[in-house]
Amino acid sequence: MSTILSTSGPKFAQVLIAVFGFLAIMSVIFWIAGRANGRKVKPIANVVFLGPAVVLLMLGLIVPAFQTIIFSFKGEDSIKWVGLSNYDWIFTDPDMRKVLFNTFLWMLFVPIFTTLLGLTLAIFMDRMKRESVPKSLIFMPMAISFVGASIIWRFVYNYSNGFKPQVGLLSAVVKTVGGHPQNWLLEKPLNTFLLMVIFIWVQTGFAMVILSAAIKAVPADIVEASALDGASGFRLFRFITFPSVRSTFIVVLATQVVGALKIFDVVRTMTGGNFGTNVIANEMYSQIFVQFNQGKGAALAIVLFLLVVPVLIFNMRNLRLERSER
């Protein structure tokens, strides 16, 4: 206990010094800005409001990004240059190909199912009188972290060997209908899709709420005019509702794609990446913090970043196109 206190004392003092130093620098900057007048006001105001944000952005994002790029060309000790060997390992190693394939499955199935399910629920809820109650219940999993959701679903997928009662919900249901329960998290590739269910369960409420707000923003006179022209049911959804919420649908879909690409918590908590369920984010963590290979971990981080960038660019272009059409 005394050792812990002796080591935490200097660190706490360093944190206090850093905080007070930052406040002192900001106080000086604001004091200078308050005494400025004339032509100096605008450039000083830009420095006051943008300067700290730019500095923090450089220290917290840009500098680490460049360091990660450099480390991706080095070995596990981050000293010896190895060129493109880390990237060659990612795309040629059989185990890494499986990791990439699993990540592709997450990116393909999870966003589509989550967004479509959210849209379906939003349409159904829009026709209910007391929609707030079911919406709250469906949105409730969003308040749970992925780790907490994984622990909950671990009870659902639980399997008991021998003659012990099946306390897992899925195993109990299968046994009730005459099937044979199995250790679900060991069955490949079923286990990967079972992990996807957890992500979909958590994120469907988010997609539903966003799309429901977009549906309610559709002008009522357009809907009424379409109904008078004979449009109803699926035709009304196809020609009126969906075109009106298409941009929101794309934004939600892109958000889910990014979330699926970065998935880590569910895989780490449920299987640790074992039994054929590993993904890029979990492998990156394992390389850096378990196997202490900084080079391979940095290369995986760069690959993950390159996969996310096209989705973000597409989302930005879609938003600009929408604004230009207004």
Please report the pLDDT score of residue 280 as a whole number. Answer: 93
Show pLDDT as tens, one digit a residue, over the chain (326 residues). Answer: 444 445 556 777 888 887 888 788 777 777 766 666 666 667 777 777 777 778 778 877 888 889 899 989 988 877 888 888 999 999 999 999 999 999 999 999 999 999 999 999 988 887 777 788 888 888 999 888 999 999 999 989 988 876 777 788 888 888 888 888 888 888 888 999 999 999 999 999 999 999 988 888 877 777 777 766 666 667 777 777 788 888 889 889 999 999 999 899 999 999 988 888 999 999 999 998 988 888 999 999 999 999 988 888 888 887 777 777 66
Instruction: Reduce the secondary structure of 263-326 to three states and give it as a string.
Output: CCHHHHHHCCCCCCCCCHHHHHHHHHHHCCCHHHHHHHHHHHHHHHHHHHHHHHHHHHHHHHHC
Please report the pLDDT score of residue 105 as a whole number. Answer: 93
Architecture of domain 87-325 in this structure: Orthogonal Bundle (1.10)
Please report the pLDDT score of residue 26 as a whole number. Answer: 74
Please report the pLDDT score of residue 229 as a whole number. Answer: 65
Question: Cis (ω within 30 of 0) for the bond into 134?
Answer: no
Collect all residues with Cβ–Cβ distance below 8 Å to 133 and sequence separation of at least 6. Answer: none
Q: How many helices (H) and strands (E) does the chain have?
A: 15, 0
- pTM metric for this prediction: 0.81
- Decide: 98 and 277 in contact? Cβ < 8 Å: no
Angle at 209 between CA 127 and CA 239, to 5 degrees: 55
